[in-house]
Each structure stands twice: as C-alpha cells, then as structure tokens.
Structure 1
Amino acid sequence: MVDNAGSKTGNLAKGDVTDDTTPTLSGKATAGGVVKVYDNGTLIGQTTANANGDWSFTPGTALTDGAHNLTATVTTQAGGESAPTAIFDLTIDTIAPNKPGIDEAQDDVGAVQGPIGNGKPTDDTTPTLSGQGEPGSTVHIYDKGELLGSATVGQDGEWSFTPTTPLADGEHSFTVTSEDKAGNVSEPSDAYVVVVDTTAPNKPSIETVFDDQGDKQGNLAAGDTTDDARPTISGKAEAGSTVVILDKGVEIGRAPVDGSGKWTFTPTTPLSNGGHDLSVKAVDAAGNISVASDSFGFSIVAGGAPAMPAITAVKDDVGSIQGNLQKNAVTDDSKPTLEGTAEPGATVSIYSNGDLLGSVVANASGQWSFTPGTELKDGLHNLTATATNAAGNVSPATGAYPITVDTQAPSSATALELRDDVGAVQGVIASGDITDDNTP
C-alpha cells in the first residue's frame, strides 16, 4: 500500500497512520481475476489482475478519518470468489497537530547564563530551545525559514533542541512546526528571536579615583596614599555594559555603564589598609567579557579596615586535664584563655555565639591574649574575633573556633546489692554475711 499525499509518502506497513485518504493498494492475484477490495467488510471497488497477476487499486471515494481494515478477494472466470486476504489495517488522519510553541531559549556559555529573553542577546552560539507540542509528534526547528533540525515531542508534550552547527553572529528568528505520524503539519509557532553576539566589548578604562575623606581630598594619582577606604572610582566602557571592578584580580563590585559610556563605583565595604591594584573588565548583555583595563595602584592607611585577626590558641588551665584546646574540644575551664594575632594597636573584640565577651588591644608585635571576666556557661561556644583600628574600621570576623564547656561532674554510682540464688538460704546478702553462692 502506497501513500501518495502530504509530506510523508511511500509504502505503508500494516498498522500505519496516513494522511492519504485515497492510498493505492496493490498485490498479486490470478491473472485476469477480478479483485474486489473491502473496507471494514464493505465493498469499495474492484480491479482486474493483469497477465502477470499484478493488480492495483485506488479508492474513487476518499476514506474517512479513522481506522480501516482492508481486505481483498479474487473472482476467477470460473466464477468462484476466493476467501478474503488477511486484514491490512491502517488509520487515516488528516487533522494537523495544534500550533506548537517555543517557550524558552537557554544560554549555558560564558559569564551570563540562563534563559535568553525573546529578542535578547547571547554569546551562546548553540542555545538550547525548548517548548511544547503534540505528544509523539516531530517538531521541525527553523531559523528564518531555514530548517535547523528536528526533535521528538515527549509524552509530556515537551521538547528541546540544541543546534549542532554554531549560529552566526546576528539576529535569529526561530519558529517550529509540528508533524504527526500521518504527516500532517501544523501551522508555525510564533517567532522566538535571539541575537547572537560573540564580540567582546572594547577595553574599558579607569579615569579617576576620588578621595572625599579627611583633610586632603580630591583625585588620586597612581601610586598615591589615601585615608579614604571607600574612594569613588569612575571611568569609561561600552554603553549598556556592566563593569566588574577588581582589586588585585579579585572582584569587589559591579557598576552599570550608562548610555554615554560612563560608570562610577564606590565600595560598600571599606578597603583594607595597604596596597591596592584596581582594574576593570566590561561584560556586555550577551556575556562577552573585555580585556582588563590598565591598572590603577594606590595605598590606604588609617582609614582602611584592618586585616582579619586570628585565634591561634584556646588554653585550659583548670582541672585535671589542662593545655591547648583543639577546635570542637570539651573543657571544664569556664574561663579559658584565648590567644591570637592582629594588626598592632588594633582593638580585638572576642565573641561567643555572636555575643561580645570583651576586648583587648594587640601589642606592638601584633600579639594578644584574652581571658573572659565572666564564666562561660556550659554548652557550645563558637568563639570569633574582629579587629577595630583607630579610625573605627572593623575587620571581617575570624572563622569560628568551637569549644564545649562542661563543668558538671559525673553522677555518683548507686549502692550495690548482692543476692544469693543458690541453696537452701537465698535472698539479699548483707555486708559481712556468708553465702554458698559463688556467683552472687
């Protein structure tokens, strides 16, 4: 049986689905015999086998949508009609699938990843498209009318497709059609547009670093020293991009670039004392990253946050077990001594579970020692410390140094009782008694 209509043509197998309402049947019979064709037991036409016994039949009336069980018989010149052939079943389906849709384009490349909005840029040259369609159908994906490929719709009605050939830079307008097993094709989906952009922004620049603190204010020159731990940094970059501000290669913040290509940034967290080497990179909306700007170096004194202190030891000097406590140790010393390092002259504040225990000043060598004035309660104590310099800037907190205080002695043992369960005399054995039970 042959399908001669629609997008899918060719031979049909038993059980197939077709959109051809007048498929051509063919077969073998007695030469010259009259072949009668039946559909669900109803005669729909006849033809004559040729001298080689070959016959072919195309219904004169279109078959209706639905299931069809086709059989054939042959009647020879002797007048006897043969038994029918085995059933050749097929289903006619001329109804096109519903209009499919593209729900999302996904970027999984570069600095900016995630869903790509309709009409938005991406640096992913092989974005993954996904959407919905008729379960079991095949969606054909087009870019401005050119076929990119196909995907099968799952039984949940979902499909996804990733181009195997990278897309060129520029606008891409994707549409999909849905084709069912019979070859019926839906109308195209609405267009989903993405703009592929793999060109990195031009090299950005740092134009000024401005000090607005203390007696001496104004723009800093490269190599200057400042007491402003939060100087305002500004420069130029590609309009509409985002600049990433780096200090010695570590990101400290981001700032948008306006339509005229200008940006400005003030750190939210004070910069630490010491040398700083600033640079910026520009990231466009597609996720392309520029080369780094020229660096701008300067130093901060006094106004910067001190470096994070350290708790180097926690010591127990009470009870039968004394010495240095490791992290997560248990101690009976409710006033253990903490030791550590910090910026010389900084005030070190010690906390337990976030509550201030007290403070101590680091000496000229940067060493400090602290013993709580109030006993720590039994239980877990996560000890941390911060350092505050003369300008009032506070360092980040140290990591936790957990210890558990336990000052409760074990409970005393209960009184012993001996019991005799052997021989004529049994029961509780009083202190000093004699017993014949050698396993009381």
Structure 2
Amino acid sequence: MTQFPSLNVYNLNLANVAAPVPSGVALAPGSDTGSSSTDNVTANATPTLLVRLDTTNLAGVAFSAGTNPATDPPGYKVAVYGNGTLLGYALPVGGDIFSVTPAVALSNGLNFITARAVIIDPRSPTPHAVGLGPESGALAVRIITGSPGTLGPPDLLSSADTGGVDDDNVTTLTRPTFVGTAAPNAIVRLYANGLLVGEGTASSGTGAYQITTGSLGDGVYQITATQEDLAGNVSSPSSALKVTIANQSLTLPGATAVQNVGPVTVDLGAGTVNGYAGVPGASGKIGIVGIPFVNLDTGNGPLDILGTPGDDQIAYRPTGAAAGNLNRVGVGQLIAFTAVSQLSLDALAGSDLATIAGTNNPETITALVDTTAVSQVATLLALRSVTGSLERLGIQALAGNDVIAVTTKDTVNAWVTADAGDPGANTPNGDVLRIIDGSGRGQLQNGPGGAITGSGSFIMNYAKTTGRQTRIDYSGVEKIVKR
C-alpha cells in the first residue's frame, strides 16, 4: 500500500467586498467658467472632472494606472463617463480624489457625468478579469461654446432722456439709464466710446435689462452693449447709440446733429431747437430745457427765436457781425450763436420786453420801429422783432459816449425804453438820443413827466395819418436831437 505524506491543512476566510461607489463627481476649480464657479455651466468642452471615491475597502489593492484594464496591472481604476460613454480613467490626486480631463470634447448642451470603480483581477494569460462597480449618481454639466448673439443697440430710458424731448438722445443727466433685451440671466455691459461704464444682469424671464452708467462728462458718446452668457462667452459689441450728455452745455450741430439748409428755430416756450438734421425722434427737435449754456452754429443761415405764452424779458447782446447771445431773464440759460445771417424774434403772447445791449465802446445803437422792429449796435448782428407781439423794445447802452437813434413809423403802436448809461459817468453832451420821424408827418410830444435832464419821455403821434403812436422813455441822456 502506497503511503502519502501528510497534508497541511489551512483555514481560509474569504471576504467578498463589493467595489465602492463614487460618492461625488464635480467640475474642477477653473473648469466651471462664467460668472458662477458652482453652477456647472462652462464654455470648456473638455473640463477637468473630479471624482471622490472612498478607498477604505480597497486597502491593500493597488491603483492600476493605464487606460486598458484588460492588460494593465491588477488593481483598481476609476472610470468616468459622459452620457454613458467612457471619457477616460481618473488619476489619484490625493485624499481619495481622482481627476481626469477628457480627450474628446463634450457636446454642447446638457451632459450627464458619472463614475465607477473598476476592479482588475490577475489572470494569465491576459486578458485579466475585469469587474465594474456600481455607477455613481450623475452630475449634470451644461456645455456652451461660441459667442452669444450680438445685442441690438441700447436705448436711452425715456425718463432719462431729459431736456424736454424724450427721444432726441440728448440728456442733462450725467448718469443716464439705458434699457434693452438680452438672453435671460446674461451679464450685460455698457460701453461709452469703448470704455466700460455700466454692468447689470438681464432678467431671468424676458431678458430685459436696465442699467445706469457711471458718471459721464458733457460730450457725445457712442453707447454699445455686450452680453456674457452663463458659461462666460461674450458677444461682439452691439451697434452704437449716439447719446449727448449736456449737463452744463450743448453745442449744435457739433457731433450731436448735422448742419442743415434753412432756418434754425429756438422755441423758448417749448425749450426746443429745430432745424438741424440727423436728430433722432419723431419731431426732429432737440430739447434744451435745463441746459445752462446752448451754443448754436446756424451755418450762415437765419435764426428765429420764439418766446413763450407768458410775460418775457428777453436780453440780447450782439458779439459780432453774425454772432451774439440771448437769454430770458429769470431763466438760468444763455443761448449763444454764430454764423447767423439774420436774427428774428417773435415774442408771441404775454407782456414782453426785448432789450438789445451795447458794448463798453462808444457806438451808435439804432432802432427802427416798424411792423418789424430792427435794432442794431454799430455794425453788429441786428435783432428783428415782430412789433405786434412785443410790448416794449429796450435799448441798453453801456460805457462810452453813445448815440441812440430811434426811427419811428406810423405803421404800429410801440413803446421804446432807452437807457444811455449813468449821466454822471459821461462828459456833458456825451450820450445823445436822436428821435427821427420815419413817416414824415408825426408830432413829437412830451410824454408823462415831460422832458427833464437825463431822463424823460416822448410820444411820436401820427394822428394825421394812421393814429398810431410810439412812446419813447429814456434815461442817462445828456443831449436830445429831434428830426
């Protein structure tokens, strides 16, 4: 009988432990682009992905590097999937965290990222036995690549379009508000002449935005807008909206408008200027309400001034043969003008006074009182006034020995006030008042108070012709000449 050696006996305890399930998948810092770093929306189509895997139950099991489980060393791997397709195997970066950057881009839109442990048991010859652990919960990642659509030009909010005309894009506000529509939740940025001046977020529903800019100085600006989507993609700038800031002054046409052929009209009652081309809005008018200084170049054309329905005191000072400035007393606004071929005033309704002022030089100031009154300082730009709408025509001489010459006509009833300056500041016979009968049959009479030294009143009466008369009140006069 054959004897066999005794056998060793071993006690084996086999523990069959399931592969761990990854407890989390996330975008790596820097891969979640856009304004939020936690919204899982990115413009990076190959973002770095992080997987958390508790390796406690894998103690003693080596990590298997490589990308082919069938031939790689035995151990464990962490596989990462996008929409069920393998993206790659994550490498350990410490603390049970594994990282992978897909070699193939994810598709635009929503992608579901999952991970699982892969166990490789040795087998010879290969391929090894490969076991797959349970799949993790999915991380939803939205990929948005490419620039968002270009916005339409921003629009100046109607209430921010001050100055009296709410669609001329001229405003007195230094921090105007603009509105428009972008993609919902997009970040909208406003630029003035290419410089960032404001930023806001479009509404989540309609995409409407309303943004108030930082402080802008007086001038003309090209306002553009861009939008940034949730992934951080930025659109091209919109076409520009031309906006004029006129907090202290406005120059026309300048860069705000275009010189036009024809008269320029300033309506003091409405607070508008009309007669320039290239002005947006239905009326084509530019609002000037609340602008302290308005400078007009009429391009060698006529300038017409319209008064208000109320009582006006309008002061005009010529500064050149085609230039001058004008203001309505009590209103903090000066209107200066150049390149004017003819200056006309229609004071409209109310009890109105229009005064022409001289300079500090000795000069002759003339006034022709007719259906259209014409007053002029030397050879400077004359003022033509509709006498029927003007209750008084004023003449204000300043320093120097001046001559005030008033020519009356029998066509209108009129009232002229002439101030030649302080008599004490002039030499005897320094300031002269000449009263000229322009129709030839007038009777000059002393007015209320009679003629006294320095000041008084005359009435040129045309009782023999039309029954019209012109009253002339004067002051500061050293000499009176009647013709």
How does the TM-score come out when normalised to structure 1? 0.46
TM-score (norm 2): 0.43
